[in-house]
Structure 1
Amino acid sequence: MMTEPRKTEPARRTVLLGAAGAAAVLAMPRSGLAAASVPAPKASLWPEAAFKATVPDAALKALWGSSSLVSTDQVKMEAPDIAENGAVVPISVDANETAITGAALLARHNPYSLACAYEIPEGTSPAISSRLKLARTTEVIAAVKAGGKLYATSKQVKVTLGGCG
């Protein structure tokens, strides 16, 4: 004897969830589901040419309009002599100069030299810390912008494995 499958009505919970979902969709802005209340940043704010530069001079020129670096002991950089893992190399930079408006970390032998760049607001301590991915043993350059001039210090970091190349 065959029995017919039992016909069931949707459970109350399913109906309520569907109604709540429909109400949420109707409450969204009329411009579409992808509309957000926070405006997207302008693409021009990202210095694309600087981050695509393959040598430090070109990156600095694209970032700050100059690649003329003055070597100084006022910029202090902490970096390991030997990095056992090139994927996460800790770098810290501090500067005694108080009028710093920007800072950047560059790796000379990475596929793209500029690793990171910062705008330093007035009155902010000019200290940064980051972890860089280094392709191989390379010179790491810490550059800062102050009073329209660029100051820098550098250190050779030996990479034993890992890396980005």
Structure 2
Amino acid sequence: MNQTRRQVMQIGAGAAAMGVAATAGLMPNIALAADAPGWNAPLFEAKSFADVAKIWGATPTESTDVSIIGPDIAENGAVVPVGVKSNAAGTTALGIVVEKNPTSLVAQFNMTDASVPNVATRIKMAQTSNVYAVAKVGDKLLYTKKEIKVTLGGCGG
């Protein structure tokens, strides 16, 4: 494809502007979860709900104060919509644990007193599994679970 002189000059000017921005420190940096304050790597390496509870240092108790919203059948395991809500006063964290995923804890949301403990996200599921909605309240873990069936590959492809 033949380019006009004007197009070549525009491309060159754009590249020069990017070079100046990069050397001036104006280019965005990559944000990594591992760099976040309070990141707990062993928590996201846990292989089961029991391991997550042990690392959180809390006793798991099934409770109606925690609810989970999600489909009965997920058409695509790569994007499963899940919501977690806690009605328990003093909730400091919400979590989503997928029993049969390679790493069980798929999401953790830290709460403050000003937060409403109600979150929604999309998760990746390897296969049909129980999904736990977890709320950390003091030294207890309140949870409820729901089986979500996956019909198309998620974590494994």
Q: TM-score, with normalisation over the residues of structure 2? A: 0.76
2:155 to 151, 159, 164: 164
- SS of residue paired to 2:113: coil
Gap regions ≥5 residues in structure 1 = 1-13
- SS of residue paired to 1:122: coil
1:90 to 81, 84, 89: 81
> What corresponds to 1:3 in structure 2?
none
1:104 aligns with 2:95: yes
How many Å separate the matches in 1 of 2:21 and 2:72?
57
Root-mean-square deviation (Å): 3.1
Q: Which amino acid is the alignment partner of residue 43 of structure 2?
A: A
Q: CA deviation at 1:135?
A: 0.4
Q: CA deviation at 1:114?
A: 0.5
Overall identity of the aligned pairs, in %: 36
> Once superposed, which parts of structure 1, at least 4 consecutive aligned residues long, lie more than 6 Å away?
24-30, 35-38
In 2 relative to 1, CA 28–115 (structure 1 residues): closer, same or farther, beyond 3 Å? closer
Matched positions, count: 151
Please tell me whether the aligned partners of residues 94 and 126 of structure 1 are also in contact (alpha carbons under 8 angstroms).
yes
- SS of residue paired to 1:150: strand
1:51 aligns with 2:40: no
Q: CA deviation at 1:76?
A: 1.2
Q: CA deviation at 1:95?
A: 1.4
Q: TM-score, with normalisation over the residues of structure 1? A: 0.72
Question: Which moves more between the two structures, 40-49 or 137-146?
Answer: 40-49
Q: CA deviation at 1:120?
A: 0.5
Residues 76-122 of structure 1 deviation map (CA, whole Å, 9 limit, x = unaligned): 11111111111111111111123110010000000110000010011
How many Å separate the matches in 2 of 1:75 and 1:127?
10
Please tell me whether the aligned partners of residues 50 and 60 of structure 1 are also in contact (alpha carbons under 8 angstroms).
no
Please tell me whether the aligned partners of residues 53 and 60 of structure 2 are also in contact (alpha carbons under 8 angstroms).
no
In 2 relative to 1, CA 54–42 (structure 1 residues): closer, same or farther, beyond 3 Å? closer
Please tell me whether the aligned partners of residues 57 and 67 of structure 1 are also in contact (alpha carbons under 8 angstroms).
no
Q: CA deviation at 1:147?
A: 2.4
In 2 relative to 1, CA 98–83 (structure 1 residues): closer, same or farther, beyond 3 Å? same
